[in-house]
Chains A and B, each alone.
Chain A
Amino acid sequence: MRKAVGALTGALATIWLGQALAADSPKSLVEYRQAVMKSIGASTGAIGMIVKGEVSYTDQIPEHADAILEMSLLVPKIFPPNSTYDDYNKTDALPAIWKEPEKFKTAVEDFQKAAAHFAETAQGSDMDATTNAYLELGKTCGGCHKPFRHKE
């Protein structure tokens, strides 16, 4: 029974986390994942500069919000089983991602929902609501990074 459950969990993990891409090297998979994550960070960094008043491109928040939403759709697909720390030790992705795929799935879905809400709110002119949606989005970054990413 335990074996069957393990196999089933493994199968679910594979469907959710992306097919094992045997042809792609773990190094490339990790670097690709980091490139995707950095592109999200680039958008949040740009939004931060706008809201802090360093640049006055206040009308450009919706584009960054859309970019985050688009990238959020890739996140569940870029954690294939051959991209763990054991495969390539320059990843900060923790083993918990593959050990607890259901928890990881929930955390990623929370992020996607918050990204969608932020993108929608940013289209409007209510700055308070946009800021609020952005703070909520930030919490979902933490919701995934805290349990699933190694960081000092």
Chain B
Amino acid sequence: MRAFLGRLGLAAGLLLAGPAAAQDEDPVEHGKYLVHAAGCVACHTVPKSEKYLAGGVALKTPFGTFYTPNITPDEKTGLGTWSEAQFLEALKHGRAPDGSAYYPAFPYTSYSGMTDDDAKALFAYLKSVPAIEQANREHELDFPFGWRWLAGVWQSLFFEPRPFKADPDQSEAWNRGAYLVQDLGHCGECHTPRGWLGATEQDKALSGNPEGPEGKSVPNITPGKGGIGDWSESDIAWYLKTGFLPDGDYVGGAMVEVVTEGTSKLTDDDRRAIAEYLVSVPPLPTP
């Protein structure tokens, strides 16, 4: 194990050092790092467009097509008039400022575990980016999902905010990895299968989703059958940094943006933490 870590250290030296994620830095800087860890850019910015965080990305799901909203501080079409408390309520409890419920296409189900400090830093950063005026596009949902009040019913059935709890028996890196995977990175939103009403099935966590976004299947990332049991921790960290799989193939589908706008911009320490956590999750077969 020591030798392995030593090698990894060497490899890390060969790679470029990522941005530091110091805890005591200014909230805006910290939030800037978090938008990548939390995957905000990948969903709220149309790929290759100049309209950073102005939304409008289509998420095709079995329930219809969702269009992500504008999260720039524009007063008319973005979060310009929001208070910090309203933002935390939206992010961690799935409630819009007008009290209505968000559809779980917005991963508040995962973000509910985000620390308040991280959520506030995210808000501080989002308030600091250039405001872009771009009206939100209506979702195009199949009957009857277009009735938004159903999202409230859904929440009462399936959603309970779940603050992150560190496991004292595990290392600090493992716990950081668990937080990054479950809460900030919300990996399970795509990699965990969903039941018929769209709730993730936690007893099958991270075992893959045959009906993922864009109608494509999403792979099993547990060490179980059909999963990534033959990947080493350094394979996972390297993949998250570069997009290259251990066999030399390159990441595809929706994961392209997750890597280019998300995991490639994390620190080597955070990627190693994700890897340490992922190799330890319960091995499950692909559903």
Contacts and interface: CB of A to CB of B under 8 A. Distances in A.
A43 to B, nearest CB: 7
Assign chain B's interface to a size class.
20 to 34
Interface string A113-152: 0000000000000011001101100110110011001111
Contacts, number: 88
Contacts of A46: 248
Interface stretch (B84-92, B124-132, B143-151, B250-258): B250-258
B160 interface: no
Interface of A: 40-48, 51-54, 127-128, 131-132, 134-135, 138-139, 141-142, 145-146, 149-152
Contacts of A52: 7-8, 11, 234-235, 238
Contacts of A54: 7, 234
Interface in B184-219: 212, 216-219
Nearest to B4: A53
Contact of B243 (A40, A127, A128, A141): A141
B248 A44 contact: yes
Contacts of A128: 16
B244 A138 contact: yes
A71 B3 CA distance: 36
A150 B244 CA distance: 17
B255 to A, nearest CB: 9
A134 B242 contact: yes
Contacts of B264: 135
B169 interface: no
A45 B212 CA distance: 27
Contacts of B235: 52
Contact of B244 (A48, A132, A146, A152): A48
Contact of A41 (B14, B217, B243, B249): B249
Interface of B: 7-8, 10-11, 14-16, 212, 216-219, 234-235, 238, 241-253, 256, 259-260, 264
B251 A127 contact: no
Contacts of B234: 52-54
Given A134-B242, A138-B242, A51 B249 contact: no
A45 B242 CA distance: 12
A146 B252 contact: yes
A52 B251 CA distance: 18
A134 B234 CA distance: 17
Contacts of A150: 216, 252
Given A48-B242, A139-B243, 6 more contacts: A45-B246, A48-B246, A48-B248, A52-B8, A138-B243, A151-B252
Nearest to A128: B16
Contact of B14 (A45, A131, A139): A131
B114 to A, nearest CB: 28
